[in-house]
Structure 1
Amino acid sequence: MALAANGYFRRLTRRLTEDIDQLDAEEMANSSQASGAQRACDCSRGEEVTMLGRLRSVEACPKSSNASVEAEFFDGTDAVTLVWIGRRRIAGIEPGKKLKVRGRLGDRNGQKVIYNPYYELSGDA
């Protein structure tokens, strides 16, 4: 009984003193792994990937001939830039939204990127 209480207090202390972003990243990585999705840190250029994570930021790039929507996607292990070419806005694609994405992983200036990914919004934002 004392060991169980000791473990509880250790977890509680960790939760209270650890960085919120770090805890969120760990939780996201665990739920991603539990869903069977791939971890972004394990994926490499050219692979067809399915990942589960959250949008950190979304930016519309409405240049006249190259309209696009770009979002920073984070799954708890690494960030991936999602780019929807030819779009000025996408309903439901907002910072903080949780989604599952699928597409071919590419590389743009040393950063992971997926162009025109298939996505599913998750009910639990």
Structure 2
Amino acid sequence: MRNLLASRAEMEASEERREARRHGCTAVTELVDRRRAEVTGVLRSVTLRPRRAVPALEAELFDGSGSLRVVWLGQRRIRGVEPGRRTRVEGFVCIQEGRLTMFNPRYELIPSAEELAAVEDVTARHG
């Protein structure tokens, strides 16, 4: 059973790496401190973190090679930013508390295959 789970995780990681390359994004393992980057992957977790007086929405973005912590300062919630959502972020990378981090990046929510199929279905019926 453990091998089956490991192979499934490896397959998912491989798929994420392929998607990142397809979008022309930098792999998390290739990110450089204090450099601008564009990364795509799946949000594994999204958490509201109190940071002194300013709230912060924190997410873990996994691209198949590693994870990037993404933090939106001053945000309690962002519509569509939820676990399992494929997302592209762009901004400056820094190392914060020993972790690769991107603060207040530009982001794009990438539609799932099901969402694209639903749009195509509606378009076909009304087009």
Give the deviation of 1:64 after TM superposition: 6.7
SS at match of 1:30: helix
In structure 2, do the counterparts of structure 1 residues 63 and 109 end up closer, same or farther at CA, with 3 Å as the change threshold?
closer
Q: Deviations over 1:9-59 (max 9, x none)?
A: xxxxxxx78521111010010111122111111111011000110000000
Residue from 100, 105, 123 that aligns with 1:117? 105
For this pair of structures, how many residues does the alignment match? 110
Letter in 2 for 1:124: S
Residue from 62, 74, 78 that aligns with 1:90? 78
The residue number in structure 2 matching 1:37 is: 25
Report if the CA contact (8 A) 1:62-1:88 is conserved.
Answer: no
Structure 1 length-normalised TM: 0.82
Letter in 2 for 1:118: R
Letter in 2 for 1:68: A
Structure 2 length-normalised TM: 0.80
SS at match of 2:54: coil
Letter in 2 for 1:102: E
Letter in 2 for 1:24: E
Letter in 1 for 2:11: L
Query: Percent identical across equivalent pairs?
Result: 32
The residue number in structure 2 matching 1:69 is: 57
Distance in 2 between the 1:24 and 1:108 partners? 27
Distance in 2 between the 1:114 and 1:64 partners? 19
Distance in 2 between the 1:17 and 1:87 partners? 35
